[in-house]
Chain A
């Protein structure tokens, strides 16, 4: 059979507090498109960063064409013939396509011959069927064209192994088709493609073989023709973990709506549409779980509801009263509480004290200030109460929150958000990165709030969390809600398929 192009054996990479790769075995043959499949945080990016020389593995060996190699820098990996096409492009915007392609290439002569460079780049682009003008400046190009430049860069360097990190995440379906054609042209010449993705149907259509990672370990490698999306979804999310549903005193009622979104659209930071006509309702005391792989519009959804991002269409209402678009203060006044994903930077002022952070939402009220002057003693009293009530472990309320542990940071944030008696809480990955005890506490607080009538939109990548807390589950995929179902009927496999882009019918 085919020869091995890359073989990684027993690769371990630890970061402070987390083992990103825990003994990964991964082998890719010459001339194949090999998909690396896994959820976010499964260790795909770490593995590819090790292969391209950005990280050094703590343990394990890498073999290239049968001989052991060790890369000290991205350059040595490039020189050995391994090129990476990053998800976030590494391009110099004011430079032309040709200038980007020759950048850092040791074979470029000291005095640049623009004419012949442009010619060679154009020739290379033509050979692999990539439409791009070598004289265009990067900032003039579409995202799809920029990706072609990235691919040209590594091909120009003579890469024999190309790693593409979630290449279709930024592409339109037509651009994605063109990319697949280019990949086929490259493997036909004996080059090897490693295709990182979490989209099942895409992996099925483009790859020859698939390796699945989960929690930093290799689950297995299968030939694409011998597997199915269902099997892959099972491998991706795992089914070993058993979990119990949270005990609810007052299960939510979806008829009494506190938050409703109707056909909401919005753009991401780069101006691309991130939400496509999202419709969702949250009832009083109801927990609605939003499942999905990160980057499918969850962040934008949370921000649009919290008023941190303007919607470009549709209607957001709290108890049927529309909320002013893109105004965080209006959202707060309307009764929205928000626990953002990046709790220490978006949620709190990291350098400020616990008591100041706890006052950040109601300092404007007559309770805490008069004539623009803060009532410091009442702010301190409020903080003392909340610290007690939420069991925040802090030396005193004057301690900057950045000095607290992750769990206590989250408690400060929850305490502040709940202290304003919200009607709706949007919580994004509220337990991510916390230890087991803190996870318990946070989940208890969420359930308690729901029992007291707060409608909660729980955005999480952690299926276990969603299935154990939510009354109803919706799934987000590419900015759309692709499913809306009661939590009791949902299975892990079904959710896994939906998160990977399968339709609701196919997932049954």
Chain B
């Protein structure tokens, strides 16, 4: 029974951790380029609502509809992120303020809810969802089944992405140059690397992944549109980037840890443990605060490898 409970929590940690990982991986790319994106929550919600709409309105086979919905969510997220890049990179605005305004603009009482209203997406449950698969018919295998063979296609995609992202960041030339842009844009510029281009591309990539994470909520977790449905997942993702030391592998582990905290409430409630639901719901956020306090000292920041130019607009030295 106890080991069974552990497996249930682990499996649902992977389920709930998947959208966190997408958004956090996006944050890794964005922050590695030196741009801080506090607009993740807004981008996730925009991704969620556009995915829900596409799922309801795009015809064709179920697979095709879901694929289109995911692409639309990524596109929507990256469009919003391009606005962030325009503010932060081109206009050199304060990145914290720019990110916050994007979350407010697109967030729970903003653009995403407005779209949901005019498109009437909240009225019906999303029929074409991202469902759990039974891989190789092994889903019912004890222990290993729920852990490895009974996830959605997006979870398997996230594992692949984690590996590719590590390779991209640390083994390829583009990854090296991306990290240089985030560490020392002056150096990168002097070596002929286009700082503006790298920052735009990776901010938009981050937005696309945030949108994908949002789509996971409206197509798999809930699965329908509810205003503000990500409930602060975007903020957890931002903390996860730091928690994962700006590395994809550690970020994945962190995402599952937070996923476990999130699933704890659902799982324990269903087994009638007598803990107030609000306390359990608050756990991930308490953890977020703890993580941020622990790593936000100057010393820690240097040691764990925060990109040195994170949050600093780049300006060429001119007199």
Contacts and interface: CB of A to CB of B under 8 A. Distances in A.
B294 interface: no
A102 B175 CA distance: 13
Interface stretch (A89-97, A127-135, A207-215, A333-341): A89-97
Interface in B154-199: 171-174, 176-177, 179-180, 183-184, 186-193
Given A104-B193, A111-B171, A94 B305 contact: yes
B164 to A, nearest CB: 13
Nearest to A75: B192
A234 interface: no
A252 to B, nearest CB: 37
A103 interface: yes
Contact of B190 (A15, A79, A90): A90
A112 B192 contact: no
Interface string A211-243: 000000000000000000000000000000000
Given A103-B176, A103-B177, A110-B173, A78 B192 contact: yes
* B interface bracket (residues with beta carbon within 8 Å of A): 20 to 34
Interface string A162-180: 0000000000000000000
A110 B187 contact: no
A84 B186 CA distance: 14
Interface in A44-81: 54, 73-75, 78-79
B308 A93 contact: yes
A271 interface: no
Interface residues of A, number: 30
A109 B317 CA distance: 30
A461 interface: no
Contacts of B190: 74, 84, 86, 90
B173 A112 contact: yes
Given A90-B184, A90-B191, A92-B184, A104 B319 contact: no
B176 A99 contact: yes
A4 interface: no
A108 interface: yes
Nearest to B317: A54
A85 to B, nearest CB: 11
Contact of B183 (A84, A92, A102): A92
A79 B183 CA distance: 24
Contacts of B184: 90-93
A92 B172 contact: no
Please classify the interface of chain B as helix (H, G, I), strand (E, B), loop, or mixed, using the class held by over half of its residues.
helix
B180 A15 contact: no
Interface string A141-175: 00000000000010000000000000000000000
Most chain B C-beta atoms within 10 Å of own C-beta, residue among A20, A94, A109: A94
A73 B194 CA distance: 10
A94 B171 contact: no
A112 B172 contact: yes
Contact of A112 (B171, B191, B319): B171
Given A78-B192, A104-B188, A93 B183 contact: yes
A176 B319 CA distance: 30
B191 A103 contact: yes
A153 B172 CA distance: 19
B178 to A, nearest CB: 11
B316 to A, nearest CB: 8
Contacts of B187: 90-92, 100, 103
Contacts of B176: 95, 99, 102-103, 112
Most chain A C-beta atoms within 10 Å of own C-beta, residue among B192, B193, B305, B317: B192
Contacts of A18: 319
Given A74-B189, A90-B191, A104 B177 contact: yes
Nearest to A104: B191
A109 B176 CA distance: 12
Contact of A90 (B172, B173, B174, B186): B186
Most chain A C-beta atoms within 10 Å of own C-beta, residue among B173, B305, B308, B317: B173
Interface string B302-318: 00010010000000110
Contacts of A94: 183, 305, 308
A308 B171 CA distance: 45
Contacts of B171: 111-112
Contact of B192 (A20, A92, A104, A111): A104
B319 A103 contact: no
Contacts of B316: 54
B192 A110 contact: no
Contacts of A93: 183-184, 308
Given A78-B192, A108-B173, A103 B186 contact: no
Contacts of B173: 102, 108-112
A91 B308 CA distance: 12
Given A93-B184, A94-B305, A95-B180, A103 B174 contact: no
Nearest to B307: A94
A18 B319 CA distance: 10
B89 to A, nearest CB: 17
A84 B189 CA distance: 13
A42 B316 CA distance: 22
A94 B303 CA distance: 10
A56 B184 CA distance: 23
9 contacts: A92-B187, A92-B188, A93-B308, A94-B183, A95-B179, A103-B180, A108-B173, A110-B174, A112-B171
Q: Which 6 A-B pairs have the closest CB atoms?
A: A75-B192, A104-B191, A90-B187, A90-B190, A15-B319, A92-B183
Given A79-B192, A112-B172, 5 more contacts: A95-B180, A100-B187, A103-B176, A103-B188, A103-B193
